[in-house]
């Protein structure tokens, strides 16, 4: 069965600084990978997805993620964080079902 | 245009009551889901329907019964509500294994 680990429960970055959120997955076949963002009291919004092809994928709001098969990772990055990026971020992998990581709460300090 | 909608947005009820949450999608997707997000924000799938047929049924108590009258709707009925059922319930839809689109969530509080 597939699984996802997000090792960082909370991350705090300064506005304008770069960001990397870590995600490791476990799945026997080629994974379909996703990053979703959830703002307080809101639903989940898709940031980006990886199905195949180019291992560096671009998403909305200036986010990108890199798939590294050798490391079973799909880390999310953003070169310059804005205060509005403060939210909870979920990495997910789909095999027979969509499985989410526990989430990483991003705090942005000004 | 709302892609995946859920009603109600908030639901406060007493233990032992029966309640339903409705979900509708206008994306033309063939697969719909119910997820539960607990107080620690952990998201876990409960059910999945493909073309009105149940394809995923996680270890959910029998008190939870999904109903899919057509491909665009997946409702969740909960009998004999318990305190532990308090959570946010999300509906989602997709085309097969493709991206899942989520509804805004229903916050259920059982008193």
Q: Which strand (E) or helix (H) includes residue B110?
A: strand B106-110
What is the number of CB-based contacts under 8 A between chain A and chain B? Answer: 39
Could you tell me which of B28, B17, B13, B31 has the C-alpha nearest to residue A96? B31
Compute the distance between CA of residue A93 and CA of residue A78 in angstroms, rounded to an integer.
Answer: 21
**In terms of C-beta density within 10 A (0-12 exposed, 13-18 middle, 19 or more buried), how is residue A26 classed?**
middle
Return the pLDDT at B1: 65
Say yes or no: A27 contacts chain B, CB-CB below 8 A: no
- Which of A96, A98, A103 has its CB closest to that of B100? A98
Residue A35 has pLDDT above 80, yes or no: yes
Say yes or no: A11 contacts chain B, CB-CB below 8 A: no
Return the pLDDT at B18: 97
Compute the distance between CA of residue A96 and CA of residue A100 in angstroms, rounded to an integer.
Answer: 13
Return the pLDDT at B85: 96
B16-51 pLDDT tens trace: 999 999 999 999 999 999 999 998 889 999 999 988
Compute the distance between CA of residue A59 and CA of residue A85 in angstroms, rounded to an integer.
Answer: 14
Distance of CA A65 to the CA centre of its chain: 7
Chain B residues with CB within 8 Å of chain A CB? 33, 40-45, 48, 56, 90, 97, 99-105
What is the least distance, in Å, from the CA of A43 to any CA of chain B?
4
Residue B56 has pLDDT above 90, yes or no: no
SS3 A3: strand
A40-72 pLDDT tens trace: 888 899 999 999 888 999 999 999 999 999 999
What is the least distance, in Å, from the CA of A4 to any CA of chain B?
12
What the block records as the tokens of A107 is 């705090």
**In terms of C-beta density within 10 A (0-12 exposed, 13-18 middle, 19 or more buried), how is residue A85 classed?**
buried
What the block records as the tokens of A88 is 């909870």
B91-104 pLDDT tens trace: 999 998 789 999 99
Return the pLDDT at B52: 82
Average pLDDT over chain B, rounded to an integer: 93
B57-81 pLDDT tens trace: 887 899 999 999 999 999 999 999 9
Contact between A102 and A7 (Cβ < 8 Å): no
Cβ-proximal residues to B29 (8 Å cutoff; 6+ apart), any chain: B71, B93, B94, B95, B101
Local structure of residue B96 (DSSP, 8 states): T
Residue A29 has pLDDT above 90, yes or no: no
What is the least distance, in Å, from the CA of A81 to any CA of chain B?
23
SS3 B3: coil
């Amino acid at each position: 069965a597939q699984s996802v680990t997000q090792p960082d429960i909370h991350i705090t970055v300064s506005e304008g600084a770069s960001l990397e959120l870590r995600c490791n997955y476990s799945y026997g076949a080629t994974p379909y990978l996703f990053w979703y963002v959830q703002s307080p009291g809101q639903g989940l919004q898709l940031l980006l997805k990886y199905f195949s092809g180019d291992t560096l994928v671009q998403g909305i709001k200036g986010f990108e993620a890199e798939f590294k098969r050798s490391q079973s990772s799909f880390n999310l990055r953003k070169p310059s964080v804005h205060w509005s990026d403060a939210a909870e971020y979920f990495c997910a992998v789909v095999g027979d079902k969509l499985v989410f990581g526990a989430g990483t709460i991003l705090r942005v300090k000004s | 245009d709302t892609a995946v909608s859920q009603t109600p947005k908030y639901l406060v009820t007493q233990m032992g009551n029966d309640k339903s949450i409705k979900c509708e999608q206008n994306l033309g997707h063939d697969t719909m889901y119910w997820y539960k997000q607990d107080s620690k924000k952990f998201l876990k799938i409960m059910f999945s329907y493909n073309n009105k047929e149940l394809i995923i049924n996680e270890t959910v108590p029998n008190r939870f019964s999904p109903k899919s009258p057509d491909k665009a709707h997946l409702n969740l009925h909960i009998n004999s509500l318990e305190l532990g059922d308090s959570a946010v319930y999300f509906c989602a839809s997709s085309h097969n294994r493709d991206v899942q689109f989520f509804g805004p969530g229903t916050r259920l509080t059982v008193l």
